[in-house]
Structures are given as C-alpha cells and as structure tokens.
Structure 1
Amino acid sequence: MKFAQLSVLIMAMVIAFVSLSEAKSSDEKKKQTVKFGKKISGHSTWFNGHDLKAVACYGDLENNSHVNAKDDWHIGAVHMDFYKSEKSVCFECVKITANKKNKKSATRSIVVRIIDDCAGCHPTQIDLTASAFKQLATLDDGVVYTEYEFVRCPSKGSLKWPKSPKPLSH
C-alpha cells in the first residue's frame, strides 16, 4: 500500500513539474524583444513624485538603487517582465508619437530613454515622466494613444536624461 501511495505522489510531482515547465516556456514565447524600426500601437501615461525614486535599470543592472530620476528627464518605464530580459530594454531609446486618435492637438513626437519598470503597465504602454508626457498631451488627459518604435539614442544636443551609462550602440 505504501508503495502505491509513493508511486502516486511521484507521478503527481512529475505531472506538476511538466505542467510548470510548459507554462514557463509558453510565457517565454510571449515575451517581446526590442525591435528597432517596428512601429507599435499603444498608449502612454505619466508618473512623478515617489515613482521617480530608485529607478529599476540603475538598481537592477548597475547595482545603484540610489539613482532617483528627475521629472525634467525625458524618460519612460515599461513592464520589463514582458521583455526577454531587463538588459534588452534598459537604457534603450523610444520615439513616441501621439497618433490621430488624439483630436485635441496636432501630431507630436518625443524620444525618451527607458530606465524604469512599470509593473502595472500593459505590454504596449509606456509610462512617461510628466515633462515628457507634456510634449504629447496635457497632464489632464492622463492617457494618450501613441505609436512608438525603438530608435538609436541621440548622442548630441540637449539630452533630457542621465548621460551615464552611455546609450547602447547597435
């Protein structure tokens, strides 16, 4: 009798392990990679205040969790769990364009650098600092429909994000 119980327990553990592995590989297939030049429709929101503290890319990748973003930086946050790895999206630049669904204003664009995680964001959402969001819409709008694409980070001009680490080169 004990052998039968042990066999059932082992079989249940094997089935659970296989199910867990299949679920994990299924989730991995859903994860995005950074694709330059591919336009993605989505939306943008904005954040400020305490959400600017201890930005993820510096804390997780640079072992410096004391980097606090500033609201005048043109930076963004994405839900990093939707990407193959944080390293694949941290410090990349994204050109965001408010699209034609926004009837209040003309088409506007901005380039931001991804340096933070937005755990509550949808895969096609980019959360922006208030100063970056204001380049696309008013803060009262709260949400703006956008189209975005990963681009090479500009290396000249008045950059509106931290200069360290250097933008990734592709």
Structure 2
Amino acid sequence: MQFTKFNLLVAMTLIALLSVISTSEAATKIQFGKKASGKATWFNGRDAEDVACYGILENKDVNAKDSWHIAAMRLSQFTGGVKSACFECVRVTAGSRSVIARIIDDCSSCGSGHIDLSLSAFTKLAPKSKGVVSIKYEFVRCPSSGSDLKWPKSPSVKKN
C-alpha cells in the first residue's frame, strides 16, 4: 500500500512540475528580419545609468546619454540571455515612423514584445506625452556609420 501512495505522490509532483514548465515563457532565439508586434515606452536620465550590457563587459562606468537611440528589453527572454541580445539593433516602427535603436540594457519588468526606448528614440515614433505606443519591431544589423548611428560603437571586453 505504501508503494502505491509513493507512486501517486511522484506522479502528482511530476504533473505539477510539468504544468509550471509549460506555462513559463520559453527563451527565443534572436532572428534578424523577423517582424513582431509589441509596445514601446520611454526612459531617460537616471534610468540610463549603469546599463546591463556594459556591466557584463566589466565596464560599469558607462552611463548612456539621453541623445542615444538605445533600448532596453527583458534580456532573459532570449536564448543566451544578456550575452545574446546586448548591442544588437532593433528597428521599431509605429505607423509610418521608425527608428533603429541599440539594445544596451535589461528591462526585467518588460513583458515579451515590450521595448523601453530612450526618449530620443521614442520621440522619433510619437510625442513624449503619448507614453506608450503600439509597435512592430525586428532585429536588424546595426549600421556602422551614417545618420542612424546614434550610440557609441560596441566596446571591447576588458582583459584581465
């Protein structure tokens, strides 16, 4: 009789674990050119200090500038996490307006498809007073020069 109770307990535990795993969001691979929908919000000033992507390079003294076209996304949603998404570029479109922003920070409170843009990038899409806009976005190769380059080049990793 105890063996049956034990089997039942194991089966119930496995069912509970599987339900937790199946309801959690699986990490996705960054795919260039694949369009997705979501929403954009904005940040500025002190929210741009100690950004996550420079921190993984052990360069925590970099504070983003308000004029940079940069973005934050929930980096854990991507396969490889921070290291796979940092310094990638995303084209964000709202209606007929678009901007290319570079991902340099984590937004742990952002859901899937939520991009938190610097104010300078957000205002390319909508007025600051709008606060939140519906968007389409896709990962693109970062421009290396030209008027779309509104951020510093990727830093090199510190050598010990």
TM-score (norm 1): 0.77
1:48 aligns with 2:44: yes
1:80 to 45, 67, 75: 75
For each residue in 1:16-57, what CA deviation from the matched residue of structure 2 results, as whole angstroms up to 9, or x when unmatched? Answer: 6996688458747x1121111110011100001211100001
The residue matched to 2:109 in structure 1 has which SS? coil
The equivalent of 2:85 in structure 1 is: 89
The residue matched to 1:45 in structure 2 has which SS? strand
Pairwise CA RMSD:
2.5
Deviation at 1:157, TM superposition (A): 1.1
For each residue in 1:102-157, what CA deviation from the matched residue of structure 2 results, as whole angstroms up to 9, or x when unmatched? Answer: xxxxx101101000011111110100000110000000000111100000111111
Identify unmatched segments of 5+ residues in structure 2: none
Deviation at 1:165, TM superposition (A): 2.7
Deviation at 1:96, TM superposition (A): 0.6
The equivalent of 1:122 in structure 2 is: 111
Does the 8 Å contact 2:87/2:154 carry over to 1?
no
Q: Distance in 1 between matches of 2:16 and 2:29?
A: 25
Superposition pairs of residues 16-31 of structure 1, within 5 angstroms: 23=20, 27=24, 30-31=26-27
Q: Distance in 2 between matches of 1:90 and 1:18?
A: 36
Q: Distance in 2 between matches of 1:51 and 1:20?
A: 37
Q: Distance in 1 between matches of 2:143 and 2:34?
A: 18
Identify unmatched segments of 5+ residues in structure 1: 100-106
The equivalent of 1:148 in structure 2 is: 137
Paired letter, 2:78: Y
1:163 aligns with 2:153: yes
Paired letter, 1:91: F
Q: Distance in 2 between matches of 1:63 and 1:113?
A: 19
Q: Distance in 2 between matches of 1:48 and 1:145?
A: 20
1:136 to 117, 125, 135: 125
TM-score (norm 2): 0.81
- Write out the 4+ residue segments of structure 1 that deviate beyond 2 Å after TM superposition: 15-28
For each residue in 1:46-95, what CA deviation from the matched residue of structure 2 results, as whole angstroms up to 9, or x when unmatched? Answer: 00121110000110x20112211111000000011211221111110001
Q: Distance in 2 between matches of 1:51 and 1:17?
A: 42
Question: Aligned pair in 2 of structure 1 residues 16, 66: CA closer, same or farther (>3 Å)?
Answer: farther
The residue matched to 1:62 in structure 2 has which SS? coil
Percent identical residues: 52
